[in-house]
Structure 1
Amino acid sequence: MQYNSLGESNLKVSEICLGTMTFGQQNTIEEAHQQLDYALDRGINFIDAAEMYPVPPRAETHGVTETYIGEWLKYQQRDKVIVATKVIGAGRRFKWVREGVNKVDRNSVQQAIDDSLKRLQTDYVDLYQIHWPDRYVPQFGQTIFDPKQERETVPIAEQLEVFADLIKAGKIRYLGLSNETPWGITTFSYLAQQLGLPKVVSIQNAYNLLNRVFDSALAEASYRENVGLLAYSPLAFGFLSGKYLQGDPGTTRITLFEQFGQRYLKPRVKEAVAAYAEVAKRHNLSPTALALAFVRSRWFVSSTIIGATTLDQLRENIDSIKVDLTPDILKDIEEVYTQYPNPAP
């Protein structure tokens, strides 16, 4: 397992991060703790959660993921585990979270971090992320910016001031973004520098063989501002494992939850997945290993966030670190990408 510096922080995160969005919905607390123990034993020191997990978000399960992690974390050597979680942003109203007041303002953020710390049974979070922007932006499969959807928003400078106070209070160590845009990265970074406030160190966005939007303007912003990518959905909700190509894939998030993962149900996704599966077969790799090794190989990726519902899946995902893609494999991947560019942005 390799460990990478995360932006301008002093965090050294494992190249694989354990995502936990299934804890409390598809995984019991016993299964969650088995995954955490196994990941830690394999060298993973980085765990990613969110106040709204598990998904899909429901009032009945709100915060359960953090609670499961907290019941495990209290028995760990705290400084050996890097814990990340997220505060939800405005735009998607969850009435059961702070009575639907989900702005990234002082009152909401302070309550959110206090609630998360209580559930996680820890005094601090290593990386606290804004789950999605407070302002309007296209997100979760949307690709077109519509000025008519503009809404009142908390100024970014004010958001930074809140997080600065949380850092001073010792409740969080570093700030990260999620589901952000190039404008967001550069504006957060510029204002932090101008106002002497904490700089964001990471961005958590979707990135996989079916969605390489990050390759362009986001990659430039990431490079110039030294903001590392925490790549989520590297298997595209499991589609890149190839399990949806033939027959019944079994019990999955897509089959369990209607309207979930719509971006991966778009035209040409199946064709692209089949083409990447053929590349994997040609080079004696599993589709899963090919997809995860590709994400891990990108220069802007600080850590690849994996998620699993079984230990066998988790083992296969972590074992992908043994795979290094050769120039021939990368060439074949690019040929498929040229034919099927970003079918699931």
Structure 2
Amino acid sequence: MNWIDTAAVYGLGHSEELVGKAIAGLPRAQRPYVFTKAGLVWEPEDPAASPRRIMKPASVRREVEESLRRLGVDHIDLYQVHYPDTGESLEYAGGGFGAVSPNATPLEKYWQVMADLKAEGKVRAIGLSNHTPDLLKAAERIAHVEVIQPPFSAINRSAAAEIAWAEAHGTGVIVYSPMQSGLLTGTFTAERAANLGADDWRSSHHDFTTGLTANLALAEALRPVAARHGVSVAEVAIAWTLAWPGLTGAIVGARTTRQVDGWIGAGSVTLTADDLAEIARAIGTTGAGQGPVRPA
């Protein structure tokens, strides 16, 4: 593994500080690439409040300087816009783009700032996370979109259009939530879903309520594929995303080393055409999620 994905908003700066400590003192040749993001701004005086989607030029410039300081680096390898600027608070990251405030910064303005940061050497590459194809097209007219970062899994397949756009434009694709927040790990259960706390966003989300039965049935259908390859269900779920043309990588997370052991081999799993057909049939049979059921 040679890269770390983080963001300023994760832990309200704490994640970047931890990454900075982890890479401090490493020779440049041994240091992993560091990717971080801008555009979710919190109020230091009220850290419990939902961060706002803000991409005003002055705000972005302040954010990049703060990220450089927390990370302890002289440049950021990939700097991404977390969400389109709506000027509003972020509720749940997977819950859509929400209403656009009159205070929102147009994409044309904030993408130009990102291009300027690259020209100045503060960042080496720029990307857009959670941006729709129409926004990607608009950004490309200003500066090349080098990377996109959409959510994508065998359950949430709605970003297929963005991935196709990226492949056609020589744009890298890093997807997040390839295991759909734990549903495709092979260890999540209906009992666990029923015991989620009221303060856990999953307790009221469709994927973990009305869609839970179909989603768990899909995870179960991945077991025979996993058994044939001698890997875990989680590794099959991640490998399924990597099988899509144009995919560069998939972001995965873990709270324990044991969880890392459960998915670390996904990068070396190559699903066959028969595997992909079997998974496509399972998606159709279970009715899980939405979007194309297999790579083109």
Scaled to the shorter chain, the TM-score interval is 0.7 to 0.9
| Partners of 1:269 and 1:344 within 8 A in 2 | no
Change in Cα spacing, 1:184 to 1:98, as seen in structure 2 (3 Å) is farther
Return closer, same or farther for 1:104/1:174 CA change in 2, 3 Å cut-off.
same
Mapped pair 1:310 → 2:260: no
Question: Which residue is 2:4 aligned to?
Answer: 47
User: Offset of 1:53 from its aligned partner?
Assistant: 0.3
- The 5 Å alignment of 1:128-207 reads 128-135=79-86, 140-142=93-95, 149-152=99-102, 153-192=104-143, 199-207=144-152
Match of 1:280 in 2: 223
Indicate conservation of the 8 Å contact 1:267/1:343, yes or no.
Answer: no
Q: Distance in 1 between matches of 2:224 and 2:191?
A: 19
Matched with 1:77 is 27
How far 1:151 sits from its partner (Å)? 2.5
What whole-Å deviation, never above 9, does each CA across 1:261-306 have from its counterpart, x for those lacking one? 7253242333232233233236514321220111121112111111
Structure 1 pair 340/218, CA: closer, same or farther in 2 (3 Å)? farther
Q: CA RMSD in A?
A: 3.1
Matched, 1:213 2:155: no
Checking the alignment, whether the CA contact within 8 Å between 1:51 and 1:87 is kept in structure 2 is: yes
The count of corresponding residues between Structure 1 and Structure 2 is 280
Specify whether residues 281 and 151 from structure 1 end up closer, same or farther in structure 2 by C-alpha distance, changes over 3 A only.
same
Tell whether the 8 Å contact from 1:279 to 1:329 is kept in structure 2 after alignment.
Answer: no
C-alpha separation in 1, matches of 2:273 and 2:207:
28
Instruction: Decide whether aligned partners of structure 1 residues 203 and 77 sit closer, same or farther in structure 2, where only a CA change above 3 A counts.
Output: same
Query: 2:176: which partner in 1?
Result: 232
Mapped contact 1:219–1:300 kept (Cα < 8 A): yes
User: For the Cα contact (< 8 Å) 1:124–1:172, is it kept in 2?
Assistant: yes
Per-residue deviation at 1:229?
1.6
Matches within 5 A, 1:261-272: 262-272=205-215
Cα contact 2:3–2:34 (8 A) shared by 1 = yes
User: Secondary structure at the residue paired with 1:222?
Assistant: helix
Check the 8 A contact 1:140/1:263 in 2, yes or no: no
Contact 1:103 1:134 in 2 (8 A): yes
SS in structure 2 at match of 1:129:
strand
Q: Aligned AA for 1:202?
A: V
The one-letter amino acid of 2:177's match is S
TM-score, normalization by structure 1:
0.72
More deviation, 332-341/277-286: 277-286
Q: Given that residues 124 and 170 in structure 1 are in contact (C-alpha distance below 8 angstroms), is that contact kept between their aligned partners in structure 2?
A: yes
Aligned twin of 2:294: none
The alpha-carbon distance between structure 1 residues 74 and 283, as it changes in their structure 2 partners (threshold 3 A), is closer
In 2, Cα distance between equivalents of 1:224 and 1:211? 21
Q: Does 1:333 pair with 2:279?
A: yes
Determine the structure 2 residue equivalent to 1:20: none
What is the distance in 2 between the residues matched to 1:157 and 1:308? 36
Helix, strand or coil at the partner of 1:200: coil
Unaligned 5+ segments in structure 2 are 292-296
Matches of 1:342 and 1:130 in 2, distance apart?
29
Q: What amino acid is the match of 1:109?
A: V
**Counterpart-to-counterpart distance in 1, 2:266 and 2:142:** 39
Question: Does the residue aligned with 1:173 lie in a helix, a strand or coil?
Answer: coil
Rounded to whole Å, the distance in 2 between the matches of 1:238 and 1:246 is: 12
In structure 1, C-alpha distance between the alignment counterparts of 2:180 and 2:159, rounded to whole Å: 14
Task: State the Cα distance separating 1:84 from its structure 2 match.
Answer: 0.4
Match of 1:65 in 2: 15
Q: Could you tell me how far 1:158 is from its partner in structure 2?
A: 1.9
Q: Distance in 2 between matches of 1:52 and 1:206?
A: 18
Distance 1:85 1:263, change over 3 A: farther
Instruction: Give the aligned residue type for 1:67.
Output: E
Larger mean CA deviation between 152-161 and 260-269 belongs to: 260-269
Q: Deviation per CA, 1:223-276, whole angstroms, max 9, x where unpaired?
A: 222222211011111111122226558x9xx65952247253242333232233
- Partners in 2 of 1:123 and 1:96 — Cα distance? 25
When structure 1 is superposed on structure 2, of 325-334 and 111-120 the one drifting more is 325-334
State how far apart, in whole Å, the 1-side matches of 2:60 and 2:45 are: 12
Letter in 1 for 2:10: Y
Q: What stretches of structure 1 of length at least 5 have no aligned partner?
A: 1-43, 55-61, 193-198
Q: Distance in 1 between matches of 2:72 and 2:198?
A: 31
Quote the sequence identity (%): 26
